[in-house]
Structure 1
Amino acid sequence: MQFEWEGVMPAVTTKFTNEDTLDLEMFSVNIKAQIDAGVSGIILGGTLGEASTLEEDEKKKLIESTVDLVAGKIPVVMNIAEQTTKRAIKAAENAEKYGASGLMMLPPMRYNSTDYETMAYFEAVAKSTSLPIMVYNNPVDYKIEVTLDMFEELLKNDNIQAVKESTRDITNITRIRNRFGNRLKILSGVDTLAMESILMGADGWVAGLVCAFPRETVAICELVKAGRIAEATAIYRWFMPLLELDINPQLVQNIKLAEVATGIGTENVRLPRLPLQGKERDRVISIIEEGVRTRPEIPVL
């Protein structure tokens, strides 16, 4: 499938049953809610998807199930987060075989690779697959930055097409645009900077709280792109306390609690994660409950 890197692309959670198996029934409920809200793609196997805990057969089931659910309407993107180049190439091969139409890709995990090693890693995978690739640039959490000079080299590979921009430096969007024009598509990867990023020229938003609030997330993106800034700002201000649940070490637990509150998910996580406890659980639930209580009307788009 040919597609543009734009609009809202949810980094969806993986749903588990009480017996710690894939809950494909609840997963389908959530994916259908995303499609109905007008998202532009589905991203599987990210941090929110608890990818490091998934077995290969589970990844296969998730991709194949999602491809069936979207029925060709929107692309299915698989995240790659591996420790070795060999495993990253195999993950890309499997994603393509199972039906994914794009890849999101982190630098090597655990080892802090040099600039040269990082570029070699991305290029090896890019040359091994026909799928388009979005580089996930998150030096805050993963300690490796893909600089603009590095992108200059990486973009010689036609299928490296986009960046999930998570440097937390809003001015980086302007630098990317000034240097590469539209050759490198930009998707904001930080929920609490998403509206600002789109205003500064980002093409879209790889979102987290969209997992629980798809209509509101899509509305912000579409309203900004339509120049209806005041309407977008009103929703974004309502959304901010919820969006802050995404920039937290327990973002998976937080967002799954929000999915429960909106009826499109369960709280089940996979060990070693555990559901939130005590005062922190009470704090998160109070934010979610207030967000649900004051949920805004969505204007006609």
Structure 2
Amino acid sequence: MFSGVFTALVTPFRNDRVDEEALRRLVNDQIDNGIDGLVPCGTTGESATLDVEEHLRVIKIVVAEAKKRVPVVAGTGANSTKEAIELSKAAQDAGADGMLQVTPYYNKPTQDGLFHHFKTIIEAVPLPTVLYNVPGRTACDLLPETLERLCALDKVVAVKEATGSAARAAEIIARIGDRLAVLSGDDATAFALYALGGKGCISVLSNIAPKDMSAMWDAAVAGQWNEARALHYKLFALSQGLFVESNPIPVKAALAMMGRMTEEIRPPLYPLSAKFRDKLAQQLSQAGLL
């Protein structure tokens, strides 16, 4: 279940409400273009500024629209272990196939604290679990030795490794790559992680380029490395352009330029700065998306 390209879905808004029609279109566009799985309510989905009702509504829409064609891994992580359990139980009831658990942010737990946080959640909600390490946003780094301890828990099936470090990814794959799927959480380094033995990625870029992201993974799996490399470089400038400001600000601007949804984003995030707009449009055009 946990290999290939999973899209970290944006959450479309219109007039400060979830744009359910745009979300349904996005889900179907992803599946029609070969994406292997969907991840609603993660960082890219602005989970931090969704209220609980919105959070669960988004998960329910994605599950309903996916119709079991691809797995849905719901973002249900929280700064509070108790809240993460409550969200995870609700996602399980909504039909999610798995859960994405980010490291807690702001309160900065120790490695033992991280281990027991995840263990407590998984024991309460036995869904297949993708752990999510993104220290650049959380100020909390899930170290390889702690990840190895967590592998002993039956439901830990994958890790979204978003440090952007090929060396870190290689260390994890060398230690425990035979026990769980290591997924890239950074589009710019996805190709490198595939070459190291990674099992796929959870992608921001695939919101706008699902066909090419899927094709790059398929080529890598088939050993067609020249083709995979060519797709990597075709998308490389755009993959960097999507992070000139905090994710998902640029990808929402890109989707709006493509006519897929409004650019609306929840405060305290703010629409893409004017100085980056022409460059982003140029990158979309160069990638054949405009």
> Which of 64, 83, 87 is the equivalent residue of 1:87?
83
Shift of 1:273: 2.3
Match in the other structure for 2:121: 125
Q: Which residue of 2 aligns with 1:298?
A: none
Alignment check: 8 A CA contact 1:245 1:251 kept: no
Asked whether the equivalents of residues 157 and 181 of structure 2 are also in contact (C-alpha less than 8 Å), the reply is yes
Partner AA of 1:13 in structure 2: V
The worse-fitting range, judged by mean Cα deviation, of 236-245 and 168-177 is 168-177
Deviation at 1:244, TM superposition (A): 0.5
Give 1:185's aligned residue.
181
Say yes or no: does 1:50 pair with 2:50. no
Secondary structure of residue in 2 paired with 1:292: coil
> 1:77–1:47: structure 2 CA closer, same or farther, 3 Å change rule?
same
Instruction: Please list the CA deviations of residues 54-90 of structure 1 after superposition, one character each: whole Å capped at 9, or x if unmatched.
Output: 1111122111111111111111111133121111111
Cα deviation, residue 145, structure 1: 1.7
Across the aligned residues of Structure 1 and Structure 2, the Cα RMSD in angstroms comes to 1.7
Aligned to 1:299: none
Bigger drift between 90-99 and 192-201 goes to 90-99
Counterpart residue number, 2:199: 203
Pick the aligned partner of 2:155 from 137, 159, 176. Answer: 159
Give 2:201's aligned amino acid. Answer: W
CA distance in 1, matches of 2:272, 2:163: 28
Moved more, 87-96 or 241-250: 241-250
Q: TM-score, length-normalised on structure 1?
A: 0.91
Q: Which residue of 1 aligns with 2:237?
A: 241
**Cα deviation per residue 1:4-58 (whole Å; 9 max; x = unaligned)?**
21000000000111x1111111111111111011111100111110111111111
Aligned pairs for 1:108-147 (under 5 A) are: 108-147=104-143
- CA offset digits 1:207-245 (Å, max 9, x no partner): 001001110110111111111111122221111111012
1:225 to 194, 211, 221: 221
Residue 13 of structure 2 aligns to a residue whose secondary structure is coil
Q: Does 1:213 align with 2:230?
A: no
How far the C-alpha of 1:176 sits from its partner, in A, is: 2.3
Number of aligned positions between the proteins: 290
1:14 to 8, 11, 16: 11
Deviation at 1:246, TM superposition (A): 3.4
2:61 corresponds, among 41, 65, 70, to 65
Task: Say if 2:40 and 2:73, in contact at 8 Å, map to a contact too.
Answer: yes
Q: Which stretch has the larger CA shift, 124-133 or 275-284? A: 275-284
